[in-house]
């Protein structure tokens, strides 16, 4: 994979050519065409107060208006942490359904209202108190959303990046042995905040017993060595078979960094486990390349960036 993308983009873009997904060949990137801006996507915004956290969350729910389930039936939902930063990612998820690569889904972004210190507040929930945030998701946020939208609770998907990727892994361990909360967990460049958190996470995957769930995680080769090593070690643990009943896939994305890798991970994960022609998969192991997945060829955006704390 030779593509290099320095930062997460904002909405203004400069197209350097028009692509069609019909041009995609086995083992090549999934092409994001300019028709991503032609989808009939709708997004609702909700402000939800959590008594467990004692704070507000901004919940963004999006869907394709012309791609609802047959007969108005329930469809899966992709729950996305750090929703305040990942609003554009909704389009990338829906684009897969728009191009017929997977079934239609809802996207549910879980973030914070304007004016919050996003870098600080996300640490409170995703790394410092993930158990409380998990409880708030299970008991308050998910019931709120699914009481208002036709979501299939048996086909939920959880995606997070960086600290959110750590939270996805934490959630999988937390859910093991209980009623299934998500069918697929996706973690991009997961970051345990401390050495203790790293040790506990990896030991958790040595000990956990779970059934009927999927895990996809990935990291860019240009990321911080600590972050790369976490994913590499987790991959070794899973490949050794210490964790039973978990279908997993892992990829090290060459020449990608902490930020540019994220959309590649979520697109590959959804195609891998929920693609219209290929998923879900049994016994996936780590052989992602065998499925012909090679990230995305994204639109080229104008060089404007959001600010992120590079420590995360």
The domain that holds 228 is classified in CATH as 3.40.50.1820
The answer to whether position 63 is within a domain reads yes
Q: pLDDT tens digits for 282-309?
A: 334 433 433 446 676 766 554 434 333 4
pLDDT of residue 285: 41
- Number of domains comprising the chain: 1
pLDDT of residue 289: 39
pLDDT of residue 245: 79
Share of the chain above pLDDT 90, in %: 62
Domain that includes residue 169, residue range: 41-290
Phi and psi at 279, nearest 5°, equal -110, 170
Q: How many helices (H) and strands (E) does the chain have?
A: 8, 10
The answer to whether position 170 is within a domain reads yes
The answer to whether position 166 is within a domain reads yes
The answer to whether position 295 is within a domain reads no
pLDDT of residue 132: 98
pLDDT of residue 23: 43
**Helical spans, DSSP H, in 84-241:** 89-98, 118-123, 130-136, 142-146, 163-175, 195-207, 225-239
Q: pLDDT tens digits for 192-234?
A: 999 999 999 999 999 888 778 999 999 999 999 999 999 999 9
The answer to whether position 312 is within a domain reads no
The answer to whether position 16 is within a domain reads no
**Residue ranges, the chain, pLDDT below 70:** 1-27, 67-72, 242-243, 277-294, 296, 298-312
Task: Please report, for residues 11, 77, 85, 304, the alpha-carbon distance to residue 184 in angstroms, rounded to integers and kept in the order given.
Answer: 29, 11, 22, 33
pLDDT of residue 180: 77
């Amino acid at each position: 994979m030779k593509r290099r993308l320095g930062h997460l983009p904002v909405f203004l873009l400069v197209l350097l050519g028009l692509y069609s997904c019909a041009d995609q060949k086995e083992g090549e990137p999934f092409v994001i065409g300019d028709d991503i801006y032609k989808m009939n996507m709708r997004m609702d915004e909700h402000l939800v107060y959590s008594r467990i956290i004692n704070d507000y969350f901004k919940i963004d729910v999006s869907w394709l208006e012309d791609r609802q389930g047959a007969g108005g039936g329930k469809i899966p939902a992709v729950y996305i942490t750090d929703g305040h930063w990942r609003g554009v990612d909704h389009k990338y998820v829906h684009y897969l359904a728009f191009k017929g690569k997977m079934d239609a889904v809802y996207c549910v972004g879980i973030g914070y209202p304007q004016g919050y210190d996003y870098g600080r507040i996300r640490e409170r929930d995703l790394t410092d108190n993930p158990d409380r945030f998990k409880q708030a998701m299970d008991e308050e946020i998910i019931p709120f959303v699914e009481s208002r939208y036709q979501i299939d609770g048996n086909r939920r998907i959880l995606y997070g990046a960086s600290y959110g990727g750590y939270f996805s892994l934490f959630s999988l361990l937390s859910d093991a042995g209980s009623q299934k909360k998500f069918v697929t967990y996706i973690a991009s460049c997961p970051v345990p905040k401390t050495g203790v958190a790293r040790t506990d996470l990896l030991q958790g995957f040595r000990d956990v017993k779970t059934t009927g769930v999927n895990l996809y995680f990935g990291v860019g080769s240009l990321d911080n060595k600590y972050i790369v090593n976490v994913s590499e070690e987790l991959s070794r643990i899973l490949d050794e078979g210490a964790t039973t009943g978990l279908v997993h896939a892992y990829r090290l994305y060459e020449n990608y960094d902490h930020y540019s890798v994220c959309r590649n991970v979520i697109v590959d994960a959804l195609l891998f486990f929920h693609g219209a022609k290929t998923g879900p998969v049994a016994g996936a192991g780590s052989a992602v390349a065998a499925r012909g997945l090679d990230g995305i060829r994204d639109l080229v955006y104008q060089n404007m960036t959001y600010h992120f704390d590079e420590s995360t």
